[in-house]
Every structure is written in C-alpha cells, then in structure tokens.
Structure 1
Amino acid sequence: MKKFDKERLLLGIAAPLLAIVVAFLVTALVLAATGKQPFEAFGIMFDYGVKSDSQVYILNKATTYYLAGLAVAIGFRMNLFNIGVDGQYRLAAFFAAALGGALTLPGVLQIPLIIITAMIVGAMWAGIAGLLKVTRGVSEVVSTIMLNAIATAIIGYLIQVGRLGHLDEAGTEISTKPLPESSHFFEFPTTPTPIYGFIVVAVIAGIAYWFTLSRTRFGFDLRTVGHSGSAAEASGVNVKKMVVTSMLISGGMAGLIGMPTLLNESFEYGGGFPVGIGFTGIAIALLGRNHPVGIALGALLWAFLERGSGKLEFEDYDKEIVGVIQGVIVLCVVIAYEVVRRYGLKRQQRQVGEKLAAQARKTEQKEVSA
C-alpha cells in the first residue's frame, strides 16, 4: 500500500475513533455530575452487550440500521440530504405488507415480489423530491420533510378497517393482513432467538453500494457531481438526471429498511412498526463516513448502545444516558471530521512544500555545478 493511501486510511479511521472517545468522556462527565459511577455504567453495558442473546439482538438491529445508513449515504455521496428516508421506508413497508397479505403465492415468488414492491414504492416516493429539486429548485431537505408527514397521513388513512386495515382476533389492534407463512424469510437458528436471514441481503446491498460507487462510471459521475455540479456538467454529465437517479436509488434502498422487521419478525405492518430509523441512518452514515464498512461498524455500535440502555434502566441508571452518548457522538463526529480534514490538508500542503523546496535545491545545485 502506498504511503499516501496509508495516511488517508489512518486519517479516515482517526475521525470516528476520536468522536467516540470524546463522546464517552463527555458522557462520563455527565454521569459523574449526577452522582453516578461512569466506569461502572460502561462496564454494565459491555458485560450485557457481549452476552449471546444480546449479540443476536445487536446483529438483527444492526441489519436494519445498516440499510438505513446505506440509503442516506447514497444521497450524501451526491451532496443530497435525504431526510425523507424514514417516510420512504415506512410507506414502502406498508404497501409491501398490504400486498403480501393479500396474496398467497409460493415463497420463491412472493418474497421477491414483496421486496421489489417495497423498493419501487420507496424509489417513487424519493423520486418526487428529486423531480421537485431539478424542475422547481425545491430543496430536498424541505420536500423530504414534507413527504415524511404526507407518508404518515397516507398510512394512517389506509390502515383502517374497510380499507387496507385488518383487526386482530382480540379486536384491539389494527394492522395489515398477516403475511402467509410462505412469505417468511429464512433465519439462522441461534439460541435463544434466531438471526434474521435478511442480514445476507444487507451484506449484498453493501457490496453493491461499494462496487457501484467505486468501480463503475455511474459511481464516478455521482461522486463528481457531489464534489462540484458545475465541473461535472462541464465534463458532459447530466446533473439533473443524476440528481433524480440518485434519489431513486436512495429511495429504493430505503425500501429495504423495513424488510427485516416485516419478513423476519412482525409479518405485518401495524402500530408497533418501528419509526425514526431513517433519522438514525443519518447519524450512522455520518459516523461511517459513507463507507460500507464504516456504516456497518456504526450500525453495530448504535445497536450495542440501544441494547445496553435497557440493562442500565434495570440497574437504576437513567435510560436517556444512551441518548446522550448517541447525540454527543453525532456532534463530535462532525467536529472530528473537520479537525482531521484540516490536519490532513495542512499535512499535504507541507509535504508539497517540502517536495518543491527539495526540487528547487536540486535545480540550484545543478546550476552551480554547471
């Protein structure tokens, strides 16, 4: 590996590590200020997090968070801030659940149909924001926030008895019609609970994300537009088309977020379906610096912190302390990336200056010798 590549790798690792260390130090100060023992709290979280049942929980949660991070990262690489991932994934999961509950097909047909439906719905919902941006100049931040609210209203309207809603046997909860058993995704048998088989799809999605961005012309154009739209347009790239395409891909990836829960756990869309995962994906994408491996590590960390918060509550600690850790990590990671970026820039400038000075000395020596 070249020296430049090693330095870039070290700088890339330094930022999230610095953010995590600072976040835990700040949290330790907060705990100490409230009369709690910070190292005891961290010890409880670690001991509980490495238990076998916790490991399964963390992997299952991280699968969902990883897909959310990828969906956000696609927009970030294009310099687009897709805040609407949460609405896109919920609307996609709702329509996929409604379709799956209405059909009874062999699993080899029904499962792909449910997944494809979710991706199409997510892509179409994100595509609205892309079209508004390129045709009317509407910021994707504003449009995706509004689309989140509209998605919530659409789901609330349709998930009623007489429309797409279905009452359970007790007559107390409304959800979409439960998926037939043929729609249940495979699992890895572990004790006490299984690992979602959808983790395989998440890994494939991560590989596809890396390959597309790093090894294809489309990925190069996407990153070019993200760095400078005017430069990309001057080189012949259709920037408007790239914006819409990126939003469609981001929304399609967002459609996968709800699939681990739908196909491996709940088998229906109801009031207990998780919300807010899209916003978690923003934090994880930032923490992972939009790299598939970094996003995976960020998703595992987030799931670990959530798992530890439950144990802390039983040990007479405030459960919200984990929210403090997560919030400080997000704040610190932005600051750390900027600090590391400036340090790397100064280091490169110094190295270029040293090379130029060395070349000037060699030229001067040659002139003296002549």
Structure 2
Amino acid sequence: MSQLEGLRAKFTKEKLILALAAPVLAIVAALILSSLVIMASGKDPFHAFTVMIDFGSKSDSQVWIINKAIPYYLSAAAVAIGFRMNLFNIGVDGQYRVAAFFAAVVGGALSLPGVLQIPIIIIVAMAVGAVWAGIAGILKTTRGVSEVITTIMLNSIAGSLIGYFLSEDRLAVKDGNLFHTTNLPSSSHFFTIPTDPKPIYGTIVIAVVIGLAYWFVLGRTRFGFDLRAVGRNESAAAASGVSVKRMVVTSMLLSGAVAGLVGMPTLLNESFNYGTDFPAGVGFTGIAIALLGRNHPIGMAFAALLWGFLERTGIQLEFEEYAQEIVGVMQGVIVLCVVIAYETVRRYGLRAQQRKVGAELGARNGNKEKAEVSA
C-alpha cells in the first residue's frame, strides 16, 4: 500500500511540474522575445514594461480592461467550442455582427419592460448567430465543405447583408455621417456595476454564465464527452455509437449561439444601437485568445484580460514615443510562445512517459530471464 501511495505521489509531482513548466517557459520566452523586439526598435524594454504596469494599474485602466475583456472572452468561448471538436469556426466575426444587427433591429422595434425586452434581444442574437454558424455545419456534413472556407465566406456575406439593410430607406436612420438602427429603449439598457471613474458593464454576468456553462457542459456531461471524443478521433467515436454528423452540426450551432452574444456588451451597455461604427474584428481576436487560454474557461479569462491590458497600455506607449506596432508584435509573440511552450512540454512529457514504460518493461523482462535461468 505504501509503495502504491509513493507511485501516486511521484506521478502527481511529475504532472504538477509539467503543468507549471509550460506557462513558466511561455512567460520567460515571451518576455525575452518582446524585450529583443523593443530593443531592436531602439527603445528601452524595461522602461516600456514599467510604463505598462504603472498605467495598467490605474483604476480607470482596470475598468477599461475588464469591459474590453468581456466580448473578447465570449468570442474566445465561441471559438473554443469548435476547437474542442477539431472544428475551426473562423466565422465568429460575421456571426456576432449579423446577430447584433438583427437583435438591435428587433430591440428597437419593441418597447417592453426590461425583464422581457432584454431576454428577447439576447435570444434573437443567439438564434441568429446559431443559424449563421449552422449553415457551415450543414454544408460540412452534407457536402463535405470545409468549415474554414464556409465560415470565411459567410463573414463576407454577413458584412454585405448588414451593409444592404443598414441604409436610411431600409432598417437604419441617418445620424450625421453615420447610419445606425433605431436606438434601443431605456428598458433595453443592461445594468452596470458602479465603479470609479466609470462603471463596469453588467454584461460581465453573461460572460461568467457562459464560462460556467462551457466548463460544465463540455467537462461534466455525456454530450461534452461525445463532443471531445469526436474531436479526438472521429472513427473511434462513430464506432462507439456517436453520430459524428449530428455532433458537428450541434457544435457549430452552439458556437454560433455563443458568438451571437459577443456584440451584447457593446449593444446593451454602450452604443444601444448597431451602426457603421460598431466594432469589428473581435471574432479574429477570439481565435488568438482561445489559443492563448488553451481552450480552458479560466485560461481564456486571463488571456482576455491580458489582451485588454496590452491594448490599453499600448496607448500609453505611443505617448512615450514607442512604435505603434510594438503591442501587436507583443501579442503575436505571446500567442506563439504559449502554443510552442505547451507543445514542447507535452512532447517532453510523452517521451519521458515512453522511456519510463520502456525501462519498466526491460526490468520485468530481465527479472523474468533471471528467474528462468535460476530455475
């Protein structure tokens, strides 16, 4: 019994070391490479890091970072659902924009109490996002079309569709040089969390709920197990009775539904309409954050906050006469370092396990030969 406990303790210790080695290696590599990039631009990297930490620690910066991280996290969660099944939903950007547009149109046409108005807007956004992503899922299962191609093309179609309807003679009104949907009534305004000097968006609750649902459904349910099984090995999953085609369509629908929520922080807490200045590109940022967070709900939360921190502090670096592209380079370097570090540690752990198994088998064969000789 004591030997078994010793083996368990040793296994847990080795697993813990490998788990810590990856993020530590990624952080060190990212800091070194980022420093080299800043030095190559003729600037002091230590001063840059000091400026970023000082500016990012201010209360107004912290609120800005949190509010910015909300749509980033939702976008990453939408991408991660597909990633867990080995699907690349590159269309989150189009899905959330077309979902936010039609949700804004429906919300602007209604005038109900907030307890009804807000859920209707959210449900419409999720439904439109799910339908838009479901098109790619159906084409993949019925025609074998790659979801990468279809989702990229659907991004373009979404932009054209919004551009068609976002005109004064259709579903928009003109406000100066901008076109936007009818403003949402006050009952559609989501609550905020009072902080100084600006409030935190109440839609952070939506992000928390999605994170918990993501963790529970994918990690604690039969559906989540089937989804991950299909992602690991389609043939084995099909042999065990899982309908691969159904899981593909379902996962794309879920990914699109979550993508439909990406625009809600802006729509319900900030702009209260969908206009030509509605933020775009958040879907592609979600891909980087999902990779950075390793598709884990907590990891993606830290990654979204880190992304917001880099964007916020990058503004201050420009005032310090650092190159504008520095932050973009740092973001790319961090993602690459995380992906490479985790893959390196994974391969090292796999090789170490193979060597251990080989050593144990060699020892057993040696003992068996000695026993045969002595007999």
* 1:3-82 equivalences in 2 (<5 Å): 3-4=10-11, 7-8=14-15, 10-82=17-89
Quote the offset at 1:99 in angstroms: 0.8
Q: How many residues align?
A: 368
Q: Secondary structure at the match of 2:241?
A: coil
Q: Note the 1:1-370 alignment, pairs <5 A.
A: 3-4=10-11, 7-8=14-15, 10-168=17-175, 171-360=176-365, 363=368
In structure 1, how many angstroms separate the alpha carbons of the residues matched to 2:77 and 2:102?
A: 22
TM-score by length of 2: 0.94
Letter aligned with residue 316 of structure 2: K
CA displacement, residues 209-261 of structure 1 (integer Å, 9 cap, x when unaligned): 01111111111111110011111111111001000000000000101111111
Deviation at 1:316?
A: 1.1
Identity of aligned residues (%): 68
Aligned residues of 1:16 and 1:287 also touching (Cα < 8 A): no
Give 3-state SS (helix, strand or coil) of 1:274's partner.
Answer: coil
Confirm or deny: 8 A CA contact 1:99 1:114 kept in the other structure: yes
Output the TM-score relative to the length of structure 1. Answer: 0.95
What is the CA distance between 1:364 and its match in structure 2? 5.3
The Cα shift of 1:68 comes to 0.8
Describe the SS at the equivalent of 2:355: helix
Pair 165,14 (structure 1): closer, same or farther in 2 beyond 3 Å: farther
Whole-angstrom CA distance in 2 between matches of 1:5 and 1:84? 40
Deviations 1:196-215 (A, max 9, x none): 11111111111110111111
Superposed CA offset, 1:149-189 (max 9, x none): 00000011111012111123xx3321111111111111110
Post-superposition shift, 1:91? 0.7
The Cα of 1:11 is off from its aligned counterpart by 3.2
Local SS of the residue matching 2:260: helix
Deviations 1:322-348, CA, capped at 9 Å, x for gaps: 000011122223322321121111111
Alignment check: 8 A CA contact 1:16 1:288 kept: no
Displacement of 1:34 after TM fit? Answer: 2.0
What amino acid is the match of 1:100? G
Q: Which deviates the most, 57-66 or 146-155?
A: 57-66
Amino acid at match of 1:291: H
Amino acid at match of 1:254: A
What is the RMSD of the two structures over their aligned residues, measured on CA atoms?
Answer: 1.7
**CA 1:297/1:141 → structure 2, altered by over 3 Å: closer, same or farther?**
same
Look up the equivalent residue of 2:74 and give its one-letter code.
L
Q: 5+ residue gaps in structure 1?
A: none
Residue 63 of structure 1, CA deviation: 1.2
Please report how far the alpha carbon of residue 195 of structure 1 lies from its aligned counterpart in structure 2 after TM superposition. 0.6
* AA matched with 2:343: E
Deviation at 1:319, TM superposition (A): 2.2
CA 1:345/1:38 → structure 2, altered by over 3 Å: closer, same or farther?
A: same
